[in-house]
Structure 1
Amino acid sequence: MILLDTREFDHPIPLEMATSAFKKLSGDEVIHMIHRREPIPLFEIILKNGGRYHRVMERDNLWHIYITRSSTVVLEHTDV
């Protein structure tokens, strides 16, 4: 699992970090992104480029987003 903790960064740095990591994903790799916002533009990029994601809001202003290209990885069971 690739951890991206982007809580300390302002837009557009978290989006750039996540898209860069997403481009390099292969096989069953998963990105675990921690963000203080729900990154809706990122979700659109992931879906347009053949990826999948699962998001979990731990509490206000703390999101965990799991991203993969794999069709077999079960992201829904990835809990915080």
Structure 2
Amino acid sequence: MAGTSGVIGLLGGMSWGSSALYHRGLNESVQRQFDAHHNARSVTLTLDYEELLRLGSDDRRDAVGDILHNAAVRV
């Protein structure tokens, strides 16, 4: 992976299970391309899904969008 400097940003928390699958898939892909000692350079910001559900059920989709946008900017 010499010469690569990219870092993949992920938003997690919608389901910890899916977050784990994303990490596994990324790292397995990197290992197939390079070798077993490489990992994907990534950072995950985990959100509280309960908060997003509550805001969504209160019809506060604007607040959900703001949370997701701000999280995406951070990663």
Per the shorter chain, which TM-score range?
0.3 to 0.5
Larger relative helix fraction = 2
Q: TM-score, normalised by structure 1?
A: 0.31
Larger relative contact order (CA 8 Å, sep ≥ 6):
2
Structure with greater Cα Rg: 2
Q: TM-score, normalised by structure 2?
A: 0.32
